[in-house]
Structure 1
Amino acid sequence: MLTRGNVKPLYYRILSKFPPNFSLCFAYGSGVKQQIGYESLSSPSSTKNVHRTTTSSSDNKKPAMLDLMFVVENPHQWHSQNISQNPCHYSFMRQLGGNCIARFQENYAARVYCNTLIPIKDEKNIMIKYGVISTKDLVEDLLDWRDLYVAGRLQKPVEIVREPNSSKVQSAMHLNLQSAVHSALLLLPKEFSEFDFYCTITSLSYNGDFRMIFGENKNKVQNIVKPQIENFRSLYGPVLDLFKSSLEYSLMGDEYAVKWKQDKAALVILQHLNQLPKWPIRRIVREWNYGRYRSDTEDVLRAIACSPRYQEIVKKSFSDIVWQSSIKQSIKNIPTAGFKKSLAYSWSKALKTFNL
C-alpha cells in the first residue's frame, strides 16, 4: 500500500500519461478513500479508527482499483489524442475514432465513457479505471440530477487531483452538496445521529442501483461512512451552516451518540422539496399525479409536504433515477471495455458480494 507521502507523486505520474487538456480530475472509490475491507492509497493501513463492530480487519483487506474521472471541455479532441497516446486503453471502439466515441459518450446513458482494468506502465501493481465526461454534462448532472451518476460520486469525499478551472463547475459542486443535504433531511426523522445523516447522503446514489442486488457488498454504505466521518465533516461542515434555522447539530463528539434534531413542520418540508434538483421533482410530480387529476408542480409539492407518504415518494424519485442510470451505464460499459474486461470486472464485483 502507498503511504500519504507518495500519493500525489503517483497521481502526477499517472496524469502525465494522459492528454493534459482536462478541466477537472478527481479520484474516488475504495482505492482512494478508506472503506472497511479495502486498502486505499490515502489512508493508513491501521484500522484503529474503525469501530470494532465491523467484522473486517486489516489482515483480510483486498487491494482496490484506483478510480479516476476526467472532466473535459472537448470530448472529441480529448479522445482523439488519448487514442493516439494510449490505444491499448480502448476496446475495438478505438477503430471508430475520437468523434464517434465522443458522440457515444455524450448521447447515451449517464454521458460517461469508461475504460477499465488499465495497468499503468512503470507502476507496480497499479490498476486504474477511468471515466470521461464533458464539462457541460457534469454541470447538468450536478445541478439537475438527471442521472445522479457523477453527482453521486461527488456527494462523498473524493480526492481532487486537479482543481476545477471554472467557477461554474465549483458552484455546481457546492450546489450538489446542498441538494444532498435537503434530500437527506427529507428522508430522515426528526431526531437522528450524525452517522445516520452521512449514511443517508451516501445512500442517495446507491438505493436503486441494480448492482447493489448482485455485485456490491450489502454493507457498502456503512463501510464507506464509518472510517470517513472526519472527511464527511470537512466536506459538509460549510454547507450545514446554511441549515441552522431548521437543524440543530454538532460536529463534535461521538457520531453515534450525539442526536441531531430538525424541524419537520410542513412548511420546512416544503422548503426542502422546492430546493430539490429538477429531475427528482419531475419524478415526484409524476408519482403523485399518477391516477389523479393532474396538478401543477407547486400544488403537488404543497400536497406532498402535508402527506404522511412524503418520504416514500421522495425516496422513490431518487431510486428510480439511480436504477435507470445504473442499468443504462452498465450496458454502455460493455462495448467500451470489451467483452473480456467486462466479464473480468463483473466477476470481481460478484466476489465482493460473497466476500471472497
Structure 2
Amino acid sequence: MANSTSASLKLTVQATGENSGTWGQITNTNLLILEQAIGGYQAVGITSGATLTFSNGAISNGKNAVLKLTGTIGGAVNVTIPDSIEKTFIVDNATTGAYTVTFKTTSGSGVTWAAADKGTKMIYSDGTNVVDTAFTDLSSDLTPQLAGTLDCNGNNIIIDGGNSILDESSNEQIKFTTTGSAVNEFSIANAATGNAPALSVTGGDTNIDLNLTPKGIGRATFNGQGKIQSVAEKVTTSATAATGTLTYDVLTQAVLNYTSNAAGNWTLNIRGDGSNSLDSIMDTGESITIAHLVPNGGTPYYNSAVQIDGSSVTPEWQGGSAPTGGNANSIDVYSYTIIKTGSATFTALASQTQFA
C-alpha cells in the first residue's frame, strides 16, 4: 500500500513496509509540521493579497499557528487558503493602508478586518469557510473580569442607550440614554495640586446650558460652600389682575410678574404646587425667597393676608409693620423669605417696595 497524505496539515501518512531508509526523515518532517501547527510563527507579505500554501509532506507558510500579515496595501485584499483545510489560526493584521483584509477559503466565505482594524483575531477554517471565534472580542465573554487596569488604547467605550455602569451588587450607578445625532456632551478633567477638577459642557454648539434635573420634587444639593459667578431666576409673567386669594407655586418660578392692575386686596397662598405642599418640599432649617410683582392703577390695592399651604401666617414685615395699602400708578414688589422651623411651622419675612 502506498503512502497517503492527511487532509489538513498534509502530513505524510506512511504505509506499512514503505519508505525503507527514509522513514526517519519523513517522520522528522511530520514532527516539524506539527510543531508549525502548534506553535509556529511566520510573517507573510500580502501587498496584493496572498494564497497560503499547504504542500504535501513539507513545511509550508499556511501551516503556522500564528501569521502576521505585513505590507502596504493599496486596496482590499484577500488571504486565501485551500478548500477542505481544517485548522485554527491566530492572525495579526499588521498591514499599512486603510483597506479591508479578508482571510478566506478559495471557494467559501471568510473573516474581514475593517479598513481601520489592524488588530489580531483568532479564526478557524471548518473546511468550507473561515470563521471568527470572537475570542479576542470582550463581548464573547458574558461576565468578563479584569485582572488589571483596563486601557482603551486610544479607543472609545460604547454603551448602548438605556444601559448602565453597575456597582458590585449589579445595581445601577450611572445610566446612559441615546440622543439621535447628538453633538454636545460632558467633558471631565482632573486637576493638579491646588486646582479644581472640571465638569464641562463641550461639543459642536457654541453656547449650551448644563441641565441638572432631580427626580420628581427632589432637589439638587451642593454640599459645602458655593461660588456663583451669575445666576438667572425663573420668571412667570401673567396678565392676572390681583384680587381674592391667589396661589404662588414655588416649584414653578422664583418671580411671579403680574402685568394687569390689581382689582382688589388679595390673600397670597404660598405652596409647592397643586400636588405638593410647601411643607413637603422643604426640610426644617431651610429657607426659600420669592417675589411677587403687582401693578396698581389710580386706585391702589395691596397684599392684605398671607397663607402657607392654605393656613394663615403673620409675616414679620420689613420696617416693623404690615402695609395698609398699595402705591398708586406703581409696581409694588412683595418679597417673602420663608424659613421652615418645624413640621408645618414657618417664619415668614416680608417686604413691600414701590417702583414707579
Q: Specify the TM-score bucket, using the shorter chain as the normaliser.
A: under 0.3
Which has the larger helix fraction?
1
TM-score (norm 1): 0.16
Which has the larger strand fraction?
2
TM-score (norm 2): 0.16
